[in-house]
Amino acid sequence: MKFCKAELSELGAGTALAIAALMLMAAPLWPGSANAQQLPHSLRDALLGHKGAAEARRVPAPPVARYVSESGGAFIFDQAASRPLIKFDNSTEVWVLSRQPASRGDVIYRNDLGEPVLRITKLGGMILYGDDAPMGVAAALSGRAASIQPPVMLSPVALYQRMGQASVRASRAAQRQVPFETLQDARPETSVLIADAASLAAEAFERAARKDRSLLSRVLRVLLTEGGKPSAQLKDGSLVVTYAPGEGLAGRPSSKRIFKVMNR
């Protein structure tokens, strides 16, 4: 089946932890807020290793769990997958992370641009990084969550629908028709990657529309192609998004990586 023109960092971790610890020692965690009542132990204890955190560490966090950050954002962290995954409540995107040892026995999880997303401290605390929090904010376990791993494959109809939805989203962001095309026939083993690559390209369009809509004037269409490594490039008005079946879910570039190409 072939689709044609579907209509359709790390500031010093020690600095971040020290600042967070001092702020948390100076004031109680969200006094009287609903979030404070939902968390099993305080972020202060999680960061400083007080008794509450020590007791929490005796029972390991579920492999797939929901967390709430100090800033109020929530996300699901899935460690049951072959590669760690994270999904934020305010987005449909599932990010694939890479695990890297850090100083003092901590572990850092990075996205496909090498940017830090999570830091798990030796004491069991969690720090969340992002565009709005480059120095990191504390996060704490909220409870179990359902897996965010995608299905193994999609039916032709489902894939066609996902391609169409991506084209509609990109067209709405660009305020004109943006066709999505596949350069190879879709196969069962590539159906999920194609659908995800299309959705992430649409996410990049929406990000560009929020940041600088003029960036979208250079992109006339989106081409999805199979390759050895996930990548994105802008060539002759075409946003070429390459997916790599051999790398599993990590075989497609994130929306942020695609946006970076559009922003050059």
**Both tokens of residue 147?**
């897996």
User: What single letter denotes the amino acid at residue 188?
Assistant: P
Q: For position 59, what pLDDT does the model report?
A: 66
DSSP per residue over 170-194, as a string? HHHHHTS---EEESS---TTTHHHH
Bridge partners, residue 54, by sequence: none
Q: For position 7, what pLDDT does the model report?
A: 39
Q: For position 52, what pLDDT does the model report?
A: 47
CB atoms < 10 A from the CB of 175, how many? 10
Q: What percent of the chain shows pLDDT beyond 90?
A: 71
Q: For position 82, what pLDDT does the model report?
A: 86
Antiparallel, parallel or unpaired: β 133-144 and 64-69? antiparallel
What is the rounded (10 degree) CA torsion for 7, 194, 114, 238?
-40
Sequence-ordered strand ranges (E) for the chain: 64-69, 74-78, 85-88, 94-96, 98-101, 107-110, 116-120, 126-130, 133-144, 180-182, 221-226, 231-235, 238-243
Q: Which pLDDT tens digit goes with each residue over 33-68?
A: 344 344 444 454 544 444 444 444 456 889 999 999
What is the average pLDDT value for the chain, to the nearest integer? Answer: 84
